[in-house]
Amino acid sequence: MTEESKKISLSIGRLAVPILLVVFYVWYGSLILELPQGPGEEGPLGPSFVPWLWASLLIVLTVVEIATGYLGKAQENAHTSIERKGVLEALILCLLLAGFAILMQYVGFSASVIAFLAVSIWWSGIRSWKIIIPYVVIFALVVNYVFHHVLKVPLPQDWLF
Amino acid sequence: MNLLVDGLVQALAWKPLLFAVLGSFMGIIFAAIPGLTVSMGIILLLPFTFHMASVTSMSLLVGVFVGGMTGGSISSILLNIPGNPAAIVTSLDGHPLARKGRAGVALGVAFFSSFLGGLFSLICLITIAPQLAEFALNFGAPELAALVLLGLCLICGFAQTSMSKALISGVLGLSFSTVGMDPIDSIPRFTFSVVQIQQGVSFLPVMIGLFAVPEIISGMRGSAVSLPDFSTRLRDLLPSPGTLAGLWKTLAQSSLIGTTIGLLPGTGSAVAAVLSYNTAQRRSTDPESFGKGKLEGVSAPEAANSAMTGGAMIPMLTLGIPGDPVTAVMLGALTIQGLAPGPLLFESHGGFVFSIFGSFFIALFLTIVIALLGIRLFVQVLRVPPGLLFPSIAVFCVIGAFALQNSFFDVFLMIGFGLLGYFMQKFDYPIMPLLLAIILGPVFEKNARMSLILSDGDPGIFFRKPISLVFLALALLYLISVFLKRTSLFRKPGSA
Amino acid sequence: MKKFLLVFALAFVVAAVSAAPVSAAYPTKPVEMTITFKAGGAADISGRTVAKAAEKVFGQPIVAVNRPGAGGTIGFAYVKTAPADGYKIGWLSASILTGTTMGRLPYDYRAWDYVSRLVFEGTAIVVRGDSPYKSLPDLVKAAKSKTLKIGSAGSGSFTRLTASALSQKAGFKFRHVPLGKRRVPSLLGGEVDAISVHPPEVLALHKAGKVRMLAVSFPKRHPAYPKVPLFSEHGWDVGFYQFRGLHVPKGTPKEAVQALHKAFAAAAKDPKVLATAEKRGFLVSYMGPDKFPAFVAEQNALIKKIVVSLGLDKKKKKK
């Protein structure tokens, strides 16, 4: 990366989060407007008072953040851009977790644990099935036994155990 | 004194003792595994106690409570994932210590601090419980609102590179905390007509997501920093008596803070830990070294969260008012045994009350013995290949988020906040303020608005009550001191 | 490689197959009973005790599962959307009526089928032990000359509705304070003049003289606090009581409802249940599927009336 492009990515990085915050603020504010305004049923402060308080604080702080971002105070060594690889990894893990939670509701606990663990262990770089398969099966059996049969957590049950 | 001995003897009968061992052990395990929490352990064990004798069931529950407050430090220190809300600040100094190869010392200090904090609160419980319970009744809505406001101001203390980033993180948490049923008027806010959102953003799934998911992400792809090798001989792991003696001031003030916070319903162990960490930092001669692996930074929150246990049991036993979610479950367990906690419990079932004290005492001892014996085993976790360790932790996180309220909604909440936590860390926004704000936001809103109902709209209520005035003054002083320190930092040559 | 993984992860999400087994004779497997409040609370204790007793006749385990949150609405919504096969049942309370009339749930009380009522719980007006009010008429008299602060569990809670209904019957006005979980400490600390609360929460304090239960809204005097008069004895019967019972998703087969009815009717006579009821201060009063739906409808009308008179039903309408 050249010196020039690095600088550009830095300024984009500095702005990206404040812009997101402003978007969040506008959205949050528009939602507060849908609430009853003014005094509440029970007391002098209604349900929209405290959300307004936080929203105003948020906008003040965002302005401060943008200002300090441009004045360049204490920002020189801050991360203002992140690698695409890291983002992709985070997204994949969260998708895997969400898939695990969804799958569990359909095929049950142990089957989904086996699927999730096998995929994620393989993904983390352990490629030997001789390690993955015994570990995954034993783990699923033990955890299912402890949580479902001993502690009676109502985890979705399946056709496996 | 005789009663105390009788209580100990009752608690030492083989069955209560067996369940105390089981309880302490399970408490440590539940707290130590990221994703599983003490609250969850207690909820899961409660149905079993319905069929037990009263002394036995309390041995089990007290064991889990005490063991849990100690065990939470294990994953905080070793993996940088707090095992409990009570241990969120333990990782700030505990994990840097582990990275320096001093995991054993950090764990040892954490365990001893927990033990001493718990012992302090137990002594308070035995000697001055009724007086403390009376004292706690002075904390009405304005006092709690002011106390929580002070807690929120401490968010500034978690600033790393930039104060505005820490504050933005905190205020973001505060705005998330307004989601769900309005605490005063019971109007659904920001729910998009989805029934599940009415319960709001429950902080346990959020905590699991914010702290565990980013660590899992970096751990699974091997980008976690490998730790230096260290000796696992018990002698090298334990802190020296000299080290512990040097911590006495921290231990004393943290135990006091922990017990006091425990007395107040609706605050909780995380607040106790944060307040005492901050106090230790401010009163230290070397506040700059906090967050880089200072033993006081491990000792303070651990002493406070254990001291909270005894504190929380005081209003529960003397007035029948639970001080936190765990004692609320204990109260249920006691009433199903036909023992209604209250002022008369000490008179009508004095022997039983002292058997609870006995169980508490035994649980403290068992916990530290189990923890110290286990220390060699715990540190082995660091040798498990991350490719196996982190996916397994992910499974526990999903189970943990689900089992608290048997809700898949909470699992998705955890995942969502996990992603948020990851990006916040990448952009240097600290996550501690966000979690703290989610815990404290609703308590503040509720008590602040309630105060104005009680005073018919007169805001003077916050200043007329002496306790609330003191907290507000402390908050203001703290903010001024932070501001002065920051501006002098900016003036340093070369920083702009 | 990365793309492949992303696709794989997506496929993993999408991969979802459902297969619901169809049962012949009911019950062939354990039944799950949703309790809409937290472990260890009043609803949890009565629910679990009753379920345990019902298992003997029922022949299959009845597994109690807590799905707490938002005043019971989370659990009620769960039962509403569960499959109507008789294997998902719910432990309901009168909160289902407050929740639906106030618009917290997007449907009314007819969205479920009602099996049986098991217990009643009282609602008491409580003052501090050193309070000048010795009886409910004392309090009412004082409330007519000045505005008293009376606390409850929350804005739309059952305890609040009871206090408001009392004030309408007796003809006084009060400042309501939605105290939530801090209701008892707040009373003891002197922040409010009185609270409306379920008796088990203050029974121990009442016996110790720290608080005084002035009167209780209940069908009859309870053996755990026999000296406390009823609202109706003062002529201010509010007509609705906190009740708990069993409901199932709409359209659950008749055989399942009958089997549940048989098991829970037996549980209502179980000595263990009766003993717990006496200790915990609730009242066992069984009503089967023939009369219970009508009872719910009648209670709903009463609760709706008070909710409308307080203007609590309009809140959600804005959206």
A46 interfaces chain B, CB cutoff of 8 Å: yes
Residue B359 domain-assigned?
Answer: yes
Judge if A11 and A65 occupy the same domain: yes
Residue B38 domain-assigned?
Answer: yes
The number of distinct structural domains making up chain C is 2
Q: Among A25, A47, A71, identify where a domain stops.
A: A71
Judge if C209 and C138 occupy the same domain: yes
Confidence grade of residue C4 (pLDDT, cut at 50, 70, 90): low
Question: Where in the sequence is the domain holding C204, given as residue range(s)?
Answer: 123-234
- In chain A, what residues touch B452 (CB-CB under 8 Å)? 43-45
Q: What is the DSSP letter of C201?
A: G
Residue C4 domain-assigned?
Answer: no
Q: Which amino acid is at B341?
A: P
Residue A116 domain-assigned?
Answer: yes
Neighbours, chain B (3 or more CB pairs < 8 A): A, C
CA distances from A136 to A56, A111, A145, B265, B386 (A): 50, 10, 14, 43, 15
Confidence grade of residue B63 (pLDDT, cut at 50, 70, 90): very high
Which has the higher per-residue pLDDT, C131 or B287? C131
Rounded Cα–Cα distance for residues C296 and C303 (Å): 10
Shortest CB distance from B332 goes to which of C44, C184, C189?
A: C44
ipTM value, please give it: 0.88
- In chain B, what residues touch C67 (CB-CB under 8 Å)? 405-407
Question: Where in the sequence is the domain holding B103, given as residue range(s)?
Answer: 2-491
Rounded Cα–Cα distance for residues B450 and A45 (Å): 9
The sign of the CA dihedral A63, A65, A66, A68 is positive
Q: Among C202, C234, C266, identify where a domain stops.
A: C234
Judge if A9 and A41 occupy the same domain: yes
Check CB contact under 8 Å for A92 and C13: no
Judge if A60 and A89 occupy the same domain: no
**pLDDT for the residue numbered B60:** 93
Contact predicate C106/C175, CB 8 Å: no
**pLDDT for the residue numbered A81:** 55
Q: Which residue of A has its CA nearest to C17?
A: A106
For chain A, what is the largest distance between any 2 Cα atoms, rounded to a whole number of angstroms? 67
Contact predicate B275/B305, CB 8 Å: no
Instruction: State yes or no: pLDDT of C13 exceeds 80.
Output: no
Which are the contacts of B277, defined by CB distance < 8 A and separation ≥ 6? B89, B92, B290, B297, B300, B301, B304
Residue B483 domain-assigned?
Answer: yes
Judge if C247 and C268 occupy the same domain: yes
Instruction: State yes or no: pLDDT of B429 exceeds 70.
Output: yes
Residue C116 pairs with which residues in a beta bridge?
C246
Strands ordered across the beta sheet of C112-121: C62-66, C31-35, C88-93, C242-249, C112-121, C282-287
Confidence grade of residue B193 (pLDDT, cut at 50, 70, 90): confident
- In chain A, what residues touch B162 (CB-CB under 8 Å)? 65, 68, 73-75, 78
Instruction: State yes or no: pLDDT of C23 exceeds 60.
Output: no
Residue C154 domain-assigned?
Answer: yes
Rounded Cα–Cα distance for residues C16 and C127 (Å): 57
Rounded Cα–Cα distance for residues C133 and C135 (Å): 6
Q: Among A40, A71, A102, identify where a domain stops.
A: A71
Judge if C182 and C150 occupy the same domain: yes
Residue C59 domain-assigned?
Answer: yes
Phi, psi of C35 (to 5 degrees): -105, 125
Q: Among A71, A101, A129, identify where a domain stops.
A: A71
- Percentage of chain B beyond pLDDT 90 is 38
Q: Among C178, C213, C234, identify where a domain stops.
A: C234
Judge if A65 and A96 occupy the same domain: no
Highest averaged pLDDT of the listed ranges B301-305, B376-380, C153-157:
B301-305
Instruction: State yes or no: pLDDT of C311 exceeds 50.
Output: yes
Which are the contacts of A85, defined by CB distance < 8 A and separation ≥ 6? none
Residue C194 pairs with which residues in a beta bridge?
C150
Judge if C110 and C53 occupy the same domain: yes
Residue C67 CB-density burial (10 A; 0-12 exposed, 13-18 middle, 19+ buried): buried
Does residue A140 come out as left (phi exceeding 0), alpha (psi in the -120 to 50 range) or beta? alpha
Q: Where are the beta strands (DSSP E) in C94-187?
A: 112-121, 123-128, 148-152, 174-178
Q: How many CA atoms lie within 13 A of A78 on its CB side?
A: 24
Judge if C246 and C190 occupy the same domain: no
Residue B496 domain-assigned?
Answer: no
Residue A103: closest CA among B273, B295, C14: C14
Residue A101 domain-assigned?
Answer: yes
Judge if A64 and A98 occupy the same domain: no
- In chain B, what residues touch C74 (CB-CB under 8 Å)? 195-196, 198-199, 405, 407
The number of distinct structural domains making up chain B is 1
Judge if C64 and C127 occupy the same domain: no
Rounded Cα–Cα distance for residues B200 and B294 (Å): 36
Average pLDDT over residues B72-92: 89
The number of distinct structural domains making up chain A is 2
B215 interfaces chain A, CB cutoff of 8 Å: no
**pLDDT for the residue numbered A2:** 46
**pLDDT for the residue numbered B22:** 93
Judge if C101 and C130 occupy the same domain: no
Instruction: State yes or no: pLDDT of B492 exceeds 50.
Output: no
Judge if C249 and C107 occupy the same domain: yes
Check CB contact under 8 Å for B221 and A13: no
Question: Where in the sequence is the domain holding A136, given as residue range(s)?
Answer: 84-150
Contact predicate B473/B147, CB 8 Å: no
Residue C18 domain-assigned?
Answer: no
Confidence grade of residue B265 (pLDDT, cut at 50, 70, 90): confident
- In chain A, what residues touch C177 (CB-CB under 8 Å)? 42
Rounded Cα–Cα distance for residues B252 and B121 (Å): 11
Judge if C151 and C286 occupy the same domain: no
Residue A30 domain-assigned?
Answer: yes
Q: How many CA atoms lie within 13 A of B335 on its CB side?
A: 33
If you count them, how many residues does chain C have? 319
- The CATH number of the domain where C229 resides is what? 3.40.190.10
Tokens 């899992």 belong to B216
Average pLDDT over residues B25-47: 89
A43 interfaces chain B, CB cutoff of 8 Å: yes
Contact predicate C2/A89, CB 8 Å: no
| pLDDT tens track for B385-426 | 888 999 999 999 999 999 888 889 999 999 999 999 998 988
Cα B322 from chain centroid (whole Å): 16
- Say whether the peptide bond before residue B239 is cis (omega within 30 degrees of 0): no
Instruction: State yes or no: pLDDT of B66 exceeds 50.
Output: yes
B331 interfaces chain C, CB cutoff of 8 Å: yes
**pLDDT for the residue numbered B491:** 46
Judge if C269 and C310 occupy the same domain: yes
**Other CB atoms within 10 A of residue A105 CB:** 14
- In chain B, what residues touch C200 (CB-CB under 8 Å)? 335, 340
Neighbours, chain A (3 or more CB pairs < 8 A): B, C
Rounded Cα–Cα distance for residues A98 and B408 (Å): 10
Residue C163 domain-assigned?
Answer: yes
Check CB contact under 8 Å for C178 and B138: no
Q: What is the DSSP track for B229-287?
A: P----HHHHSPPHHHHHTTHHHHHHHHHHHHHHHHSTT--HHHHHHHHHHHHHHHSS-G
Neighbours, chain C (3 or more CB pairs < 8 A): A, B
- The CATH number of the domain where C251 resides is what? 3.40.190.150
Q: Among C234, C269, C293, identify where a domain stops.
A: C234
Residue A158 domain-assigned?
Answer: no
A26 interfaces chain B, CB cutoff of 8 Å: no
Residue B444 domain-assigned?
Answer: yes
Residue C5 domain-assigned?
Answer: no
Alpha-carbon gap: C189 to the closest alpha carbon of chain B (Å): 5
Q: What is the pTM of this model?
A: 0.88
- In chain A, what residues touch C9 (CB-CB under 8 Å)? 92, 95-96, 99, 119
Judge if C153 and C86 occupy the same domain: no
- HEC-encoded secondary structure of B69-84: HHHHHHHHHHHCCCCC
Shortest CB distance from A43 goes to which of B44, B184, B187?
A: B184
Rounded Cα–Cα distance for residues C231 and C162 (Å): 10
Rounded Cα–Cα distance for residues C15 and A155 (Å): 19
